[in-house]
Structure 1
Amino acid sequence: MDISRSDFPEGFLFGAATAAYQIEGHRFGGAGRCHWDSFAQGPGNVVRAEDGATACDHYHRYEEDLDLMAQAGFDAYRFSTSWARVIPNGTGPVNQEGLDFYDRLVDATLERGLRPFQTLYHWELPSALADRGGWANRDTALAFADFAEVISARIGDRVASTATINEPWCVAWLSHFLGHHAPGLRDIRAAARAMHHILLAHGLAVERLRGMGRQELGIVLNFERAMPASDAPADAAAADIQDQIYNRWFLEAVAHGRYPEGALAGLAPHMPDGWQDDMVAISQPLDWIGVNYYTRSLMCAAPDQPWPSVAAVEGPLDKTQMGWEIHPEGLHHFLHKVNDALPGRPVYVTENGMAWDDRPAAGAVEDAERIAFMQAHLAQARRAIDEGVDLRGFFYWSLLDNYEWAFGYEKRFGLVHVDFESLARTPKASYHALAAALAR
């Protein structure tokens, strides 16, 4: 890599990100069942019906994994705290083993000179709450604020930053309208309510944490650039409505306390009564905002389909193992969009990375494609900084190959290869290249 730490402002943070259910091993330490455990047991939902029961066994191997981060010269570790591990039924009794684990994890992170960046929710909804409607039920947002208080009371004094929700579009639309993630619904009423309640959960958690005196509170939004598949006006309109649903719904809500008109036109008939009264809580001031970015989509009109009557077509760019086009300019685009929506607010790239079919050979893993991907996206981040975006850090997704949700253990995003039989860790060439760049 011909990019180095010195190319970025003093104090700029480099890190890697993970998520609890994807790496910890959910069967350990008294965690309660979550809706991903159940979703994985449904036919065709997850590759080989795999789940996160063991995953990378980060629960027992976290010190080894943190050592890898420290050895690479990272500044920060972005991790998530599992709701189902801390409060197994979502409400009620607390699991002390779960709290103890996160206590040890934060201390071990600090001992290695890494800043702990906590995410409260990365998708492992306790099954007991799923039984009561999950994110379609307003009560789930209220319960989430209680969880935020419980976990922050234990570790909030030592984390450098707290994000409430990771990728609300995935939690709501991907999971309740498209049905690709747990709970696997294709129901516009449930989707509309989840689209709102996940943001209400964010707002209520921020209020609760502010009341505890916590600072450095934010949210992590995922963005995907929607572009027209052709010059046809209908395809331009399709790209616009996709952008409203995917990107603007969440950004405009937290920044301005509103939902975009085109998306709201389709969802309003299904929204909960009195949703407008929640927008003040949803849009209260934040200390920073996180940008997750991976790819773009080319959109065309699909008038034979129900609202929003859009479809994605395959694009011409090089693709990752996920089939996602590699479009680094999209990161630059969204860093400016977020900066414009929330001027003066610090921004972090909280996830950016690529999956590749990495295969060890002679004790090494060569992944030149990932090195090129990182370099191209870091260059776009640096370009945005030069143009005035207050970008404070960049977290690669992910530190480890892990449980990639509906794709099971098939797709590999990690800087570190994990053998899911032996659980042996092997740093890839990209890990060594990034470490060398950070050392310069």
Structure 2
Amino acid sequence: MANDTSAVSDALSPHSQSVADPFTPPADSSLWRKNFLLGAATASYQIEGAVNEDGRLPSIWDTFSATPGKVLAGDTGEVACDHYHRWEADVDLLAGLGFEGYRLSIAWPRVMDAAGAPNRKGIDFYKRVLARLKEKGITTSVTLYHWDLPQHLEDRGGWLNRDTAYRFADYADLMSRELAGSVDAWATLNEPWCSAFLGYGNGHHAPGLADTRYATQAMHHLLLAHGLAVPVLRANDPASQKGIVANIGRGTANSGSAADQRAAHLFEVQHNAWILDPLLKGSYPRDLFELWPGTEPLVLDGDMQTIAAPLDFLGINYYFRTNVASDGAHGFRDVPLEGVERTQMGWEVYPDGLRDLLTGFKATYANLPPIYITENGMASDDKVIDGHVEDSQRISFLKRHLAAVDQAIKAGVEIRGYFLWSLMDNFEWAFGYERRFGVVHVDYATQKRTIKRSAELVSKFLKERKARSE
């Protein structure tokens, strides 16, 4: 059979059953626990499309992707996966595969006008999506900010403007009042490192500014926005969990020299501690400003206490490691390793990095909250051949990273769930549509969804685990 969405009711084809299962975890794995949540994740700008419909305002990614040379092949999110119109079938696909949780984000420009008033059509869209997810028994994890800042706020300075943090709190207030009771977990921000550094530090992402001083100030305002939003979310939707999602990176030294070891430490300071220290210690790491001297942000009285608001969970996104050496001054330089496995993105496949970071965080932060792996996955150049997509590297990638999660759990880290990235192929930011992260293939010309081999095997495991627990 052709395993497209018409066959979701039986996600495992005869073709897949004839091949030995290379995915199912061993019997002693923590992943068999009934209360370990397994889900899939997406983000609004990457899948929704419909950028000009029902009152949605322009975002910084609409502007950035329309700027020549910013996105590979000139791709934009104008149509993406057309999820705005196909959401019912996509939710049915998610449920048919057996996923227990779904992480989605809300498009800020879709739910508020420039004056901050509610856009009812946009809000109602998310109400319908969440209601259907609940009907299917799927745990809902909602991210308020997955990079699509309204352009009118960027025109007033974006995350360099402290006022944006207060506008974010207004947005969090509106959405948590409108969606109270339909969201199991709220995440304020997705990957503030990317928003701050890629958006304002090196210009690779929207809005495309490039100054390290901008990056540190943008980060401060992003984290302030998070801290301002948490008590609002607690007041409006007390039954839900509240947290934030950080992308983490493993840095390893190119040699045993003290200089290279210091370089690896500084890599992890700027990639991990820059975010986690303010959240969990109430201060920025001093070493950050050794790396970037003279870039200290403007911090007002009370800001750090606001940022360090207690969390119910910490979302962790992990993809690869970076091997570094000293740059001969006070920083580091990348030294790519030869002969290692890499993905379509050119990222090294390094599951041990996830385990090592998680156990390291447990040792570093006495108040480390429960963790969800909110993104983990890989891009590959997937093709549909005779109705099937064989993505063997992804199957191996997922199995090995889930094994690393299991190792961290057995080492004492409280990890409550795992969301693979991503449910379906989508707009991969500056790389457009060339890089495919989904476990479901999307033909962008026809919008046909085709279940990949990885999705078949994950589905098989999910259904077997459910059957065991009944």
TM-score tier (shorter): over 0.9
- Residue type at the aligned position of 2:267: Q
Alignment partner of 1:319 out of 325, 329, 342: 342
1:338 aligns with: 361
In structure 1, what is the Cα distance between the partners aligned to 2:172 and 2:463? 36
- For residues 179-190 of structure 1, what are the structure 2 equivalents within 5 Å? 179-190=203-214
In structure 2, what is the Cα distance between the partners aligned to 1:28 and 1:300? 49
Shift in CA distance, 136/5, structure 1 to aligned 2, threshold 3 Å:
farther
Q: Deviations over 1:166-220 (max 9, x none)?
A: 0010010122112111111111221111111111011001022123253410010
Q: Answer yes or no: is the 8 Å Cα contact 2:312–2:369 preserved in 1.
A: yes
Gaps of 5+ in 2: 1-22, 465-470
Q: Answer yes or no: is the 8 Å Cα contact 2:241–2:312 preserved in 1.
A: yes
In structure 2, what is the Cα distance between the partners aligned to 1:141 and 1:202? 8
Q: CA deviation at 1:42?
A: 2.2
Q: CA deviation at 1:265?
A: 4.1
Provide TM-score, normalisation by structure 1. Answer: 0.95
Alignment partner of 1:45 out of 62, 70, 77: 70
In the alignment, structure 1 residue 415 sits paired with structure 2 residue 453: no
Matched residues, number: 436
- Residue type at the aligned position of 1:338: F
2:4 aligns with: none
In structure 1, what is the Cα distance between the partners aligned to 2:289 and 2:92? 47
Supply the RMSD in Å over aligned alpha carbons: 1.7
Q: How many percent of aligned residue pairs carry the same amino acid? A: 45
- Residue type at the aligned position of 1:282: I
Name the SS of the counterpart of 1:370 in structure 2: helix
In structure 2, what is the Cα distance between the partners aligned to 1:220 and 1:32? 25
Q: Answer yes or no: is the 8 Å Cα contact 2:289–2:295 preserved in 1.
A: no
In structure 2, what is the Cα distance between the partners aligned to 1:59 and 1:255? 37
- Residue type at the aligned position of 1:396: L
Shift in CA distance, 153/19, structure 1 to aligned 2, threshold 3 Å:
same
In structure 1, what is the Cα distance between the partners aligned to 2:434 and 2:188? 28
1:350 aligns with: 374
Name the SS of the counterpart of 2:186 in structure 1: strand
1:151 aligns with: 175
Name the SS of the counterpart of 2:302 in structure 1: helix
Deviates further, 351-360 or 3-12: 3-12
Shift in CA distance, 321/405, structure 1 to aligned 2, threshold 3 Å:
same
- Residue type at the aligned position of 1:426: T
Provide TM-score, normalisation by structure 2. Answer: 0.89
Q: Deviations over 1:289-316 (max 9, x none)?
A: 1110000001122247xxx642212123
In structure 1, what is the Cα distance between the partners aligned to 2:260 and 2:152? 42
Alignment partner of 1:83 out of 103, 108, 121: 108
Alignment partner of 2:332 out of 298, 310, 325: 310
In structure 2, what is the Cα distance between the partners aligned to 1:405 and 1:88? 24
Q: Answer yes or no: is the 8 Å Cα contact 2:291–2:331 preserved in 1.
A: no
Deviates further, 181-190 or 266-275: 266-275
1:294 aligns with: 319
- For residues 28-427 of structure 1, what are the structure 2 equivalents within 5 Å? 28-89=53-114, 91-214=115-238, 215-265=240-290, 269-275=294-300, 277-303=302-328, 309-316=331-338, 317-340=340-363, 341-343=365-367, 345-427=369-451
In structure 2, what is the Cα distance between the partners aligned to 1:356 and 1:142? 39
- Residue type at the aligned position of 1:136: L
Q: Deviations over 1:380-404 (max 9, x none)?
A: 1111112221111000000010000
- Residue type at the aligned position of 2:337: G
- Residue type at the aligned position of 2:88: E
Q: Answer yes or no: is the 8 Å Cα contact 1:192–1:267 preserved in 2.
A: no
